[in-house]
């Protein structure tokens, strides 16, 4: 499941997938951030990507919960990127 959103000057792509552990059910989430104007997000990076995120020590119970968490984390990253001089 995917979600694409615009946050200020940034485009965010969020993806939730089933976790890799066949013994546990649930979802992991990852996201990428790019600027809408095509400029690098940071130094020479046109995009930045998260690693696979989980809910504490377990997978998310639903794709919607995973996507919501990914959006929150992306917003936190964008706030940090925007605060840089």
- Is it the case that residue 31 has pLDDT exceeding 90? yes
User: What value does the mean pLDDT of the chain take?
Assistant: 91
State the pTM of this model. 0.88
pLDDT in tens, 58-77: 899 999 999 999 999 999 99
pLDDT, position 85? 63
pLDDT, position 33? 96
- For tokens 């979600």, the residue is 3
pLDDT, position 19? 84
Distances (CA, A) of 9 to 21, 34, 77, 81, 83: 36, 9, 13, 11, 13
Q: Give me the residue spans of the domains in the chain.
A: 2-83
Q: How far apart are CA 72 and CA 83, in angstroms?
A: 17
Can you say how many angstroms the Cα of residue 46 is from the centroid of all Cα atoms in its chain?
15
Residues in the chain: 85
Q: How far apart are CA 36 and CA 7, in angstroms?
A: 9
DSSP secondary structure string, 23-56? Answer: TS--EEEEEEEEETTS--SBTTBSEEE---B-BT
% residues pLDDT > 90 (the chain)? 72
């Amino acid at each position: 499941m995917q979600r694409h959103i615009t946050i200020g000057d940034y485009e965010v792509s969020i993806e939730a997938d089933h976790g890799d552990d066949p013994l546990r059910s649930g979802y992991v989430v990852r996201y990428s951030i790019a600027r809408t104007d095509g400029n690098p997000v940071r130094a020479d990076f046109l995009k930045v990507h998260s690693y696979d995120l989980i809910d504490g020590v377990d997978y998310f119970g639903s794709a919607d919960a995973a996507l919501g968490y990914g959006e929150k984390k992306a917003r936190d990253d964008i706030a940090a990127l925007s605060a840089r001089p």
